[in-house]
Structure 1
Amino acid sequence: MPAPSVCSPASRLIAPTIAAIIVFALLCSLGAWQWRRLHWKEALIAQVNGRIHDAPVAAPGPSDWPKLDLAAFDYTPVSVSGSFLNDREAYLYGSLSEPRGPVGGVGWWVFTPFRTDAGWIVYVNRGFVPDANRLPAKRLAGQIEGHVTVTGLLRRPERPSHWFGDGISRDDQWFAREPSLFARASGLPAAEVAPYSIDADATPNIGGLPQGGETTIIFPNNHLQYVVTWFGLAFALVAVFIAYARGVLRGRR
């Protein structure tokens, strides 16, 4: 009967070594990717913080919409003239924990379609109102009529959560800013509605509501934490593999 073959300790390390190298490379690549994301996010924050103080430009019209990079234009100061369609308001649920004005807490952002002098429509976030003042009847003094000029920050739309089905509200109470859905619910022609909205500046409204100029500029930036996590896991893997390899080479299980 032939004697059973005995694998050398070194040969037993071939497969674990290959696996460890692959996982180590993957963890390091994830760490490097997060490092690049960290620098991108810091540059974006600096760019936006500088941009919001620029002089406003004309809000992009229909001829610009097909090629408009909404991510690049987010938070750009713009202005537009026309009149509000106050009977078509939409309400975005939210909270204002650190208000610049006197009103804060849980409430609603009032989005009102604004027909421009050129005929197209853009939704304007006129500002924040407490829950008790959501309906126009509770803030009649602030329902602006006639020709006005609105200045504020261009904002890109948000994708509604899948938890809310098709995203269409039946009572004009919303959980994501998406002008196309606001327009569809209000029966406005989609082709005439801008793909972005405008957050109105702090120009006071009669009666104090809605309270404009409350745009919150927050960019979650946890990338440094992720960098430390991925590279930490990579070096922890190295330490564990070294301990394992030493055990194998010494003949232990």
Structure 2
Amino acid sequence: MTGQALPRARWRRLIGMGVFSLVMLVLLLALGVWQVHRWHYKDRIQQEIRAAQLRAPVPLGPKPSPYEKVALRGAWVSGKVAFYGDQIRNSPKGPLQGGQLIVPFRGEDGVVVLVDLGWVQGRAPHAVPLPEGKAVVSGYVQAPQKFGPFAPAPNLARMVFYKLDPAAIGAAFGFHRVAPFTLVAVGPKPVAGGPIPAPSLPLPPNNSEQYALTWFGLALVVVLEYIFYVRKVLLEPA
């Protein structure tokens, strides 16, 4: 085609594909830039969580953040335990079935907060030794988990639940004032046979860097594909 005018039909094909490629390029670059911003945002969140992990717990407020270590003063409510979930953990002896042990804790304001003491082996809750009188529990808050209509119904006779719903668990305990969240206890490894608490604050994953590279890589593919398309059109015989 050198030295010859390009047929109008081919111009239309090149312009049509060029417009489409430009739209895709702008969209992919926008997605890549958005993921870069999310990458830096999540990185700041992770840094704040790591810093909070090293600090002493702050008093539990009315609107606690799930990314800070909080402390609650009050007393344990004896004689009431519940079991949440059906989880399998690996051990040197093989897989072990268990769940999270939920115990009520009454704050100084009279509101009951359900505390997740950690994972225990078994299929139903069992009482664990707890201090009597005034106590302090620390950890992080966890919002109620939403499940679809096919989630198993709780076994109220055994106090086994498959939804982390503080209102439902609190009502099964017989409480009328229950905090709308669960306090997940954070602590060192327990004695043998006791609940295994969360080792640290939850650290959300940050995969935005990989996503950004993916979008930018696809943008480069669009550019290369259009170059190859133009070359193919120009080399077509008249």
Both structures adopt the same fold (TM-score exceeding 0.5) = yes
Query: Which residue pairs with 1:74 in the alignment?
Result: 67
Matched pairs, number = 227
- Of 125, 132, 156, 1:146 maps to 132
Deviation at 1:9, TM superposition (A): 1.8
RMSD, aligned α-carbons: 3.0
What is the rounded CA distance, in whole Å, between the counterparts of 1:108 and 1:87 in structure 2?
Answer: 16
Partner of 2:80, secondary structure, is helix
What is the rounded CA distance, in whole Å, between the counterparts of 1:213 and 1:38 in structure 2?
Answer: 26
TM-score under structure 1 length normalisation: 0.75
Deviation at 1:226, TM superposition (A): 0.9
What is the rounded CA distance, in whole Å, between the counterparts of 2:96 and 2:204 in structure 1?
Answer: 21
- Of 148, 167, 173, 1:162 maps to 148
Cα contact 2:144–2:181 (8 A) shared by 1 = no
The one-letter amino acid of 2:167's match is S
What is the rounded CA distance, in whole Å, between the counterparts of 2:22 and 2:70 in structure 1?
Answer: 50
Q: Percent identity?
A: 23
Deviation at 1:125, TM superposition (A): 1.1
Query: Which residue pairs with 2:12 in the alignment?
Result: 11
- Of 219, 226, 237, 1:241 maps to 226
What is the rounded CA distance, in whole Å, between the counterparts of 1:147 and 1:34 in structure 2?
Answer: 50
Partner of 1:9, secondary structure, is helix
Partner of 1:150, secondary structure, is strand
Give the gaps of 5 or more residues in structure 1.
1-5, 99-103
**Deviations 1:109-152, CA, capped at 9 Å, x for gaps:** 111121223211101111221226x431xxx4x24263241322
* Structure 2 residue 25 is the aligned partner of structure 1 residue 24: yes
Partner of 1:114, secondary structure, is strand
Q: Which has the higher helix share?
A: 1
What is the rounded CA distance, in whole Å, between the counterparts of 2:25 and 2:145 in structure 1?
Answer: 35
Give the gaps of 5 or more residues in structure 2.
1-6
- Of 132, 135, 153, 2:125 maps to 135
Change (3 A) 1:205 1:84: farther
What is the rounded CA distance, in whole Å, between the counterparts of 1:162 and 1:196 in structure 2?
Answer: 19
